[in-house]
Structure 1
Amino acid sequence: MIMTKATIFGKGNMGGAIAGILAAGGTDVEHINTSSENAIVNGDLVILAVPYTALSDIAGKYGDQLAGKIVVDITNPVDFTTFQLAVPADRSAASELAAALPASIVLKAFNTNFAGSLVSKSVGQNPTTVLIAGDDEAAKATLAAVVTAGGIDAIDAGSLAVARELEAIGYLQLQLAVAQKISFTGGFTVTK
């Protein structure tokens, strides 16, 4: 079943790019600004297009509203003062979020994509692919369905434990872009 309503926290480049993909596939999208105090989360699919440091605040403020919903963490947990990953090697931002939201279905996705490749729907000559990790097969299939309905590919990357590896890939891609070895309109791709 394709979700018809999604809530996206964050209206930056990634929030806008993801909204464009979802809307192109027929999903109704609403945005919540992270500074909102009393916002209502209407979507059954919730995308957290915010910095890693905002996750705990959102979980604290909106945890009750997120119960029973698919919550997608797109963050790359980078400490921008040291430019290193900010979570221990045996954890991920997604696993921390899942622990903070035990009544939600947490997925990791979009963190290995740049906004530019979501908008263009391509990375070089290849289609953009969203890698999805999570422990709920139906939730992963639902997210994959709304993504592919929007015109890009999606691959089930495995359990939520794989989020650590996805975050490492996202971190490497970000390092390469910051060093101007790849562009923010490019990035890694998956060919089938």
Structure 2
Amino acid sequence: MVEHVPIDLRRRALLSAAGVLTIEGVLLATTASGQTSSAPKMKIGVIGAGHIGGTIGGLWARAGHAVFFSSRHPEQLQDLVARLGPLAQSGTVDQAIAFGDVVLIAVPYGAVPQIGRDYSKLLAGKIVLDANNAVASRDGAIAEEVEHNGIGVTSQKYLPGARLVRAFNTLSYMIFEREANRTAPRLAVPIAGDDQEAVGVAARLVRDAGFDPVEVGKLADASRFQRGAPGYGQNVSAAELRHKLSLTP
């Protein structure tokens, strides 16, 4: 006897399977081969479309990802969006967070606590790439907290609930722009996070931007490549960075 499955149940099963396939597709590029062309493209929100946010977001848009740029003055982002084409758009911060499967934050570090206060509920559960650096002369007392506790731990404190990964903080936007997708060996970008799935997605996005990810460890280990640390400012290959930080290949 053939069992007849109600249409609603079959539809739910198909949708569930599609969801699993989507997650698997996002993580496809975390393998050692670094091949990303067959992976589904992602939706990325960018908070702070200045030098780093605009440059890295632009590299993602050129790689085929949909990117939503935001800032305190979104009307000033029209030239950037027009230059990048139909995969780029701009608006408010809450719109960027709602849009993105992943969110990149690239702002002066002193603004991080306010972002947490204003948007922590929206960011909860999201994969968030933290590209911010603490500069004492600009950011004040929070730079001392970063120096004492480490930047990864401090960022997580102010962005509770976010699936945080440190990335894209070690070099200037001019180097990122110039060195993206260079011939092998590609430029290394260190990353660190406590959520392994989030780290895997970050590694894929580092590759898609045109660089080689180097996993340094947990968020506490992000202090090894924060501003002033040995891993900071290293315009080197992945193998060279692993050697400098005594990481296992």
Q: TM class by shorter-chain length?
A: 0.7 to 0.9
1:141 aligns with 2:200: yes
Residues 9, 47 of structure 1: 8 Å contact kept: yes
Shift of the 82–162 alpha-carbon distance from structure 1 to 2, 3 Å rule, reads same
- Matched ranges for 1:68-87 at <5 A: 68-80=125-137, 85-87=143-145
Q: Report the more deviating stretch, 62-71 or 87-96.
A: 87-96
1:10 aligns with 2:48: yes
Shift of the 67–81 alpha-carbon distance from structure 1 to 2, 3 Å rule, reads closer
Provide the C-alpha distance between the structure 1 equivalents of 2:139 and 2:119, rounded to a whole number of angstroms: 30
1:100 maps to: 158
Provide the C-alpha distance between the structure 2 equivalents of 1:68 and 1:191, rounded to a whole number of angstroms: 29
1:46 aligns with 2:110: no
Choose between structure 1 and 2 for higher RCO, CA contacts under 8 A separated by at least 6 residues. Answer: 1
After superposition, give the CA deviation of every residue in 1:117-165 in whole Å (9 maximum; x if it has no partner): 2112259x95222111001111111111122123221111111011112
Tell me the amino acid that sits aligned with residue 189 of structure 1: V
Identity of aligned residues (%): 28
Provide the C-alpha distance between the structure 2 equivalents of 1:10 and 1:152, rounded to a whole number of angstroms: 21
Cα deviation for residue 103 of structure 1 reads 1.7
Provide the C-alpha distance between the structure 2 equivalents of 1:168 and 1:14, rounded to a whole number of angstroms: 15
Gaps of 5+ in 1: 175-186
Residues 113, 159 of structure 2: 8 Å contact kept: no
1:109 aligns with 2:156: no
Cα deviation for residue 191 of structure 1 reads 4.2
Instruction: Give the TM-score, by structure 1 length.
Output: 0.80
Shift of the 90–39 alpha-carbon distance from structure 1 to 2, 3 Å rule, reads same
1:128 aligns with 2:179: no
Shift of the 91–121 alpha-carbon distance from structure 1 to 2, 3 Å rule, reads same
Q: Greater share of helix residues, 1 or 2?
A: 2
1:28 to 66, 70, 91: 66
Please identify runs of 4+ aligned residues in structure 1 that moved more than 6 A: none
Provide the C-alpha distance between the structure 2 equivalents of 1:26 and 1:140, rounded to a whole number of angstroms: 20
Instruction: Give the TM-score, by structure 2 length.
Output: 0.63
Q: Greater share of strand residues, 1 or 2?
A: 1
Query: Alignment RMSD, CA only?
Result: 3.0
Shift of the 114–83 alpha-carbon distance from structure 1 to 2, 3 Å rule, reads farther
Tell me the amino acid that sits aligned with residue 39 of structure 1: D
1:59 aligns with 2:116: yes
- Matched ranges for 1:142-157 at <5 A: 142-157=201-216
Cα deviation for residue 75 of structure 1 reads 1.3
Shift of the 82–50 alpha-carbon distance from structure 1 to 2, 3 Å rule, reads closer
| Higher radius of gyration, 1 or 2 | 2
After superposition, give the CA deviation of every residue in 1:13-58 in whole Å (9 maximum; x if it has no partner): 1111111222233221101114677732210211111010110111
Residues 113, 170 of structure 1: 8 Å contact kept: no
Residues 223, 229 of structure 2: 8 Å contact kept: no
Cα deviation for residue 4 of structure 1 reads 0.8
